[in-house]
Structure 1
Amino acid sequence: MAVDRVRWGILATGGIAAAFTADLVDLPDAEVVAVASRTDASAKAFAERFGIPRAYGDWASLAEDADVDVVYVATPHSAHRAAAGMCLEAGRHVLCEKAFTLNSREAEELVALARRHDRFLMEAMWTYCNPLIRRLKALVEDGAVGEVRTVQADFGIAGHLLPGARNGTLPPSHRLRDPAQGGGALLDLGVYPVSFAQLLLGEPSDVVARAVLSDEGIDLQTGAVLSFESGALASVHCSLTGGTPTAASVTGSEGRIDVPDGFFFADRFVLHRDGRDPEEFTADPAHGPRNSLKHEAAEVMRALRAGETESPLVPLDGTLAVMRTLDAIRDRIGVRYPSETN
């Protein structure tokens, strides 16, 4: 690996890939050296947009590029297993978008591959790398609210306002409604509330869930209650049918923390300790805009320089635990993807 600069490859050319690549510009020790897409035209257009020297019209060429230290996999999650697996087997380190895979079986396969090849692998759960969420977690662990009793989090969007919507609704061909692409609210949006709850409480011992399904069999909105051995409960909700506050709260025996909006890229939260005035915590402006993806990129580069094969902020066992919970929720609501029926 390059000593002074970490050389990145970008696999896929959609919106999240563009946002991540743009944020890498703010990191002086990062260099984007290659991009890959399924077509030459898409890869070349992306390369021209960001000044990337090499563009590949296939994934394998990027995976085999020895000048790439780490690959950011930004495909739809239905392709994460294939794309990340190809890169790991070729000797590349990998940062893979969320949801990490379609299911826990695929996630376990990727983790096993990374460990077999001694490669770094991390889920791109930017929430865990957000400095303010790290501060919130530290406060909870230090007992700021006492013993955690409940966690609540939601993430809902107005699907009819998304690009590609027609006549006020998402068409069945849209990625978010296509079962073959892992469509539905849960893997795109629900992964955030579930991950937030498990960041603070660990893996649940029981899951209860209900959902509204589309004609294609994907979840349009889902609510779940997660139970934990400690006696704590988490209430999580996700939706493609309407915009929700995207708020989160953590209630303990001695207080509460409220993240009022956009909890997954929080820039402020309020700590309410019993018998004391509320305390507001805000993001340091030096850390950049609230929607910056650079924190997860910086964590990847820190870990690579330290010779680590996984991040303590986003540990692989935690990613596997989240995927097991998402599997359990899908089991309760009756959602299966075509690749899982064989």
Structure 2
Amino acid sequence: MVVHLPLFIYLFKEPIVKGSILGNHYKVEAFLGEGGFGIVAKCRDTKTNQAVAIKVNRNHPDTLQQAKLEIFILEQLRRLDPDAANIVKWNGFFHDGERVCLNFEILDQCLWDYIRDRKNQGLPISEVRPILHQLTNALSHLGSVGIVHADLKSRNIMVVNRHESPIKVKLIDFGLACPASAVMPVDRVGTVGYSAPEVMLGLPYNEAADMWSLGLVAVELGTGVPLYPGRNYYDTQGQPLDHVLDSGVYTEDYFIEDNYNQQRWTFKTDQQFQCETGYESLETRYIKLTRSRWLSLPEPGSVEGFFLLEGSFSFPLLLNACS
């Protein structure tokens, strides 16, 4: 019989399992997530009996360097009140052997799972409005200390307690965050489907990139599905202006320059992109926006405005309803 073990078992020289002790007094009770960096475990502080979330970075030079950068960002964020700023509370870090472990408050459920629990039907405006208000508040506080989150998405937003009303959320995972003054355009960060155009194309970016990502989260909140569910940046591209494309580090990955046309840069066809990269782009969108045939506008605060149009969801009113 073949026994399939979780990926995190293989990420460390000494496997971490339920019951393992980290940093001498943090007992592993459950695993909350995993990734290339390592794992996030729910642990019990045996000294205080308090439950915490421990991010355990695997012992790899690149991962350890990234952990140091995250600690630097978290130190900057200590100037903020985590509750007032709607960001996760960081309790510091410790070493477990050669592993760097970050200690955070334990939160209930990520927004991605919260939406999935609603059968992907989307949330009512009565919930969307306070969530967006809190997230704009979080980004405002990050901007006040000059930090770009750079990976805002529903999986990096936590519901503090799903049973409380009104719902409260906090922003988590500052593993890709950086000072706005230190942004390197060549570093394409974030997650496909949430990244701003300037990030995808390798242009200079700042805190505004987080606002783009927040807009996509807003659509996801209202409809229950991502606006851009593709697997490659090619799936989320539009047609920016030529002068924008002229400065992009990655423009030629997706566009062809033709100086004889009025519009010099042309988006590569599916066939051209597949021939060059081997990636087959498929139509995977649940939502298609349209400029025509709008239905009447509902009153602000109404849960109407999400309507079926020729088999696709039209989404014209979210920001109006949330204002």
Instruction: Give the TM-score of the pair, scaled to structure 1.
Output: 0.27
Bigger radius of gyration: 2
User: Larger relative contact order (C-alpha < 8 A, sep ≥ 6)?
Assistant: 1
Q: Which has the higher helix share?
A: 1
